[in-house]
């Protein structure tokens, strides 16, 4: 599902690569936790797996990244959005609409998914993360853990093949973090 081959990334002006000759293979259903000190290249790898650094970012990227057999080099963004869903660490800065319901619709509308299909996907995604009863809730009134789960629902609604999370627990209290871990475990079990 994920194939990374000899990936080396050098940011503009940098004297040495942020990531050097990284290789990685993950099959469908596998879950990988990457740990390491700040600055070791975790976000850089993640931003290659979602295509961000591979396409006109200014960074020099050597090597290959494939998701579900598709090379991400020169891959249109709309296509990458259906391959990889990304959730970053600070939920509040990633939310861009007023309510839970509209937030999930935002990405679906951007991808041109028909309304009827979008509504089905929204219900499914919100149920998956345990927010089915909070559809009309203002995003600003959600707890950090609920906001993070909403962002996971937004990603899932696009039906990506791979879900990428950059330090998804770092801004959460222990209860919020436990909820995210439970949701991720359930998603993994459901395949
Ligand atoms: P981590 O996620 O493990 O903390 P990063 O991938 O963010 O590590 O960073 C790896 C290295 O690349 C660090 O030395 C960092 O300073 C550098 N770096 C990260 N992003 C950029 C960028 N946009 N421009 C220049 N250097 C960067």
The DSSP string of 76-131 is -HHHHHHHEEEE-S-GGGT--SSBHHHHHHHHHHHTT--HHHHHHHHHHHHHHTT-
Predicted confidence (pLDDT) per residue in 134-158, tens digit: 999 999 999 989 999 999 999 999 9
Q: The whole model's pTM is what?
A: 0.89
CA distance 48 to 72: 8
Nearest-CA residue for ligand 1 atom 14 is: 39
The reply to whether ligand 1 has any atom less than 6 angstroms from the CB of 44 is yes
The mean of the pLDDT values for the chain is 92
For residues 168 and 16, which has the higher predicted lDDT (pLDDT)?
16
Q: Is the pLDDT of residue 127 over 90?
A: yes
Give the Å distance between the CA of 30 and the centre of ligand 1: 26
pLDDT at 13 over 90: yes
Separation of 142 CA from ligand 1 center, angstroms? 30
The closest-lying atom of ligand 1 relative to the alpha carbon of residue 11 is 25
User: Using 50, 70 and 90 to split pLDDT, how confident is the model at 191?
Assistant: low
Whether residue 179 contacts residue 145, with contact meaning beta carbons closer than 8 Å, is answered with yes
User: How far is residue 98's CA from residue 140's CA, in Å, rounded to a whole number?
Assistant: 8
Rounded to an integer, the average pLDDT of 26-34 is 91
Cβ of 91 below 6 Å from ligand 1: no
């Amino acid at each position: 599902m994920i194939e990374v081959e000899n990936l080396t990334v050098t940011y503009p002006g940098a004297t040495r690569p942020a990531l050097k000759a990284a290789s990685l293979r993950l099959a469908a259903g596998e879950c990988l936790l990457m740990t390491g000190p700040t600055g070791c290249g975790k976000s850089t790898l993640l931003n290659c797996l979602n295509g961000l650094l591979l396409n006109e970012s200014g960074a020099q990227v050597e090597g290959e990244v494939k998701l579900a057999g598709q090379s991400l080099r020169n891959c249109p963004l709309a296509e990458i959005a259906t391959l990889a869903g990304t959730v970053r660490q600070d939920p509040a800065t990633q939310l861009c609409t007023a309510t839970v319901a509209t937030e999930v619709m935002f990405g679906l509308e951007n991808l041109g998914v028909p309304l009827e299909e979008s509504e089905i996907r929204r219900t499914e995604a919100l149920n998956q993360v345990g927010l089915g009863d909070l559809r009309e809730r203002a995003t600003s009134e959600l707890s950090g853990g609920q906001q993070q789960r909403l962002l996971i629902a937004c990603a899932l609604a696009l039906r990506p093949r791979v879900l990428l999370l950059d330090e998804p627990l770092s801004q959460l209290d222990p209860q919020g973090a436990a909820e995210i871990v439970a949701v991720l475990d359930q998603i993994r079990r459901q395949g």
